[in-house]
Chain A
């Protein structure tokens, strides 16, 4: 395979992996809070988290661009710290993480909701503080749902196009599988686009297989 195509595949898988790592802590925290802690404004948080699923990806990308651009509220602040996000690899990770987050939160939340609360309550009566209950009971019991959600989030991140194009462009240093397929097709390089298409199919199938295995292993154990 053409070294440039290999680089694109490796870059995409690497960025999607990084995006998954980045989205895991807030995703798990959000999922747990939504599943276990009623609070004022919960509906607003639920809506906000799900927004990237229903908004056109380019619209999400535009929101990110407005927020993280040099004149945006977050971008201005980051700029003062010397951190540039827009049209860099960091923008790719950001777009991927934001687009993958709703899938992770939905799967993990469902996992937390399925845990019998009695386990968490009894752990507390045995002397475990809430953080220990979460780390030793809730998270392990929901781990398969969390993992399945992470795989889904990774898959979504890998296929991300609209938001990535808006905030990271299709520059040589920010080209992902999706944006490269689009760019090659637009410039008549059909062979290169087909090779990347095949690579995307292989990675996607692997992700689905892993996700299914995690789900079926979960059913067998409990």
Chain B
């Protein structure tokens, strides 16, 4: 695996909630693990530029995305960060093809053929978004993010809303993205089973604090699931 240096060293104040992340590491796939409301999505939103930290630095692969001291705050469109939110947010007024092509042209995208092959979505191209199943929607959302040429891919509980049998089918697609396209991932999950398969770095977040940051999988053998 090609590992990239990642700096997540920031504080977010959001009403009474405060998120503190102070981590520097190298990883190919990072898992954010923790209970609901711990602040995992806030981490992703901050990296994507959708939420502004109060103070700190966010850096991926040597590219500074946010640095409060230098007054640097790249707008979301300039960050080259692909984001698949929990609800996937496929554009409902566009076909699958138009969704996938939306971000093309920003950076160096993987070839369309490669993405279609990896995610097996060629037959879906001319379908409407409203007619897709949960698993198909997830794969289209991942394809859309990949085709925008991201330097980093954020996946927010991509399997939370799909059945167990479907999870087993979608996980290999995410593993293909990680191994063949070699795009660094940050993956939010409640499931240690998923984390064990996807990530080489685990950040456990509870009540806005990173309580554990580990490589390897010392906790993962338990296979427990947080809800």
Alpha-carbon distance A200/B109, docked complex (angstroms): 57
Which residues of B (62-114) have their CB < 8 Å from a CB of A?
75-77, 79-83, 85, 87, 89, 91-93, 102-103, 105-107
Nearest chain B CB to A12 CB, angstrom units: 35
- B159 interface residue, CB < 8 Å from A? no
Q: Which residues of chain B have C-beta atoms less than 8 A from A4's C-beta?
A: none
- A29 interface residue, CB < 8 Å from B? no
Nearest chain A CB to B9 CB, angstrom units: 21
- A222 interface residue, CB < 8 Å from B? yes
**With contacts A118-B87, A122-B83, A123-B102 known, is A129 near B77, CB below 8 A?**
yes
- A128 interface residue, CB < 8 Å from B? yes
Residue in A119, A124, A127, A141 with the greatest tally of chain B CB atoms within 10 Å: A127
Q: Which residues of chain A have C-beta atoms less than 8 A from B85's C-beta?
A: 118, 122
- A140 interface residue, CB < 8 Å from B? yes
- Chain A, interface size: which category? 10 to 19
Instruction: Please classify the interface of chain A as helix (H, G, I), strand (E, B), loop, or mixed, using the class held by over half of its residues.
Output: helix
Instruction: Please classify the interface of chain B as helix (H, G, I), strand (E, B), loop, or mixed, using the class held by over half of its residues.
Output: loop
Count of chain B residues with Cβ under 8 Å from any Cβ of A?
A: 26
Q: Which residues of chain A have C-beta atoms less than 8 A from B144's C-beta?
A: 126
Q: Which residues of chain B have C-beta atoms less than 8 A from A221's C-beta?
A: 92
Alpha-carbon distance A116/B87, docked complex (angstroms): 11
- B119 interface residue, CB < 8 Å from A? no
Nearest chain B CB to A121 CB, angstrom units: 5
- B49 interface residue, CB < 8 Å from A? yes
Q: Render A95-123 as a binary contact track against B, CB cut-off 8 A, 1 for contact.
A: 00000000000000000000010110111
Alpha-carbon distance A129/B78, docked complex (angstroms): 9
Question: Of all chain B residues, which has the CB nearest A116?
Answer: B89
Additional A-B contacts beyond A125-B148, A126-B102 (5; CB < 8 A)? A121-B50, A126-B106, A127-B105, A128-B77, A140-B93
Residues of B within 8 A of A (CB): 48-50, 75-77, 79-83, 85, 87, 89, 91-93, 102-103, 105-107, 144-145, 148-149
Residues of A within 8 A of B (CB): 116, 118-119, 121-129, 136-137, 140-141, 221-222
